[in-house]
Structures are given as structure tokens and as C-alpha cells.
Amino acid sequence: MPRSQGRRLAPQHPDVDRMDLLDVLHALADPTRMTIVLTLHAQPERPCGTFPVDVAPSTLSHHFRVLREAGVIRQRDDGNRRWTTLRHEDLEHRFPGLLETVVTAYHQQQRHTPGAHR
């Protein structure tokens, strides 16, 4: 069946031992992607269209792809919805303390930087 007829490919995710530190850091280096990560840090799983970001759907798909290919998130299809989860345990196993350090530093920066992206 052609892709245009409704079937989309299942998302691909890197194995934990194939996660690359620079890919993860790059994925976390964008305010929109950090908003996605912080949202998932507070709520473990969400449907893709429910994140508090103000970007076009195609741009949001790009951000999800960057996060997914770096190993930061996992996505699964359930009917016509795509659900997103933070790969917290996998990140902690591969890079102990990294996610919590980045999340804490980001929150501190937001508190101390006037006009910072929130």
C-alpha cells in the first residue's frame, strides 16, 4: 500500500549502546526540543499533537525525529495516534546523570535569564 494511503512506517530508535553523546547533546540544544523533553520529564507519555509548543506540524515532526534518532525519546503508534515517551532509563544507563544535569541547568538558566525561552 502506498504511504499516501494512510500507512506510516513505524518509528526507528537506536539501541542504548548505539546512542552517541554528541547526538544527544545536539538534540537537547534547541528550546523547542527542550520543551518536549521537559514536558515528558513531568508526564511520561503524551500524544504527539499535545505538546505546548508553537511550531508548525512539519517542524514539530522534525524536532521529534531529531530527538528520536538521538535516542532521547521513543515513539509508538496506537491507531491513528503516535505516542511519545522519554527514554529516561536508557539515557541514565548510557550517560549516568546527563539528563538530570541538563534539565536542572536549563531550569536554572530560565530563572536567571531575562527573556529566556520558556
pLDDT band of 9, cuts 50, 70, 90:
confident
Residues 69, 14 contacting (CB under 8 angstroms): yes
Angle at the Cα of 17 (from 15 to 20), degrees rounded to 5?
Answer: 95
pTM: 0.86
Give the C-alpha separation, 27 to 76, whole Å.
19
pLDDT digits (tens, 9 = 90+) for 13-68: 999 999 999 999 999 999 999 999 999 999 989 998 899 999 999 999 999 999 99
Count of CB atoms within 10 A of residue 34's CB? 20
Q: What is 16-106's CATH topology?
A: Arc Repressor Mutant, subunit A (1.10.10)
Edge to edge, the sheet with strand 45-47 lists 45-47, 81-86, 73-78
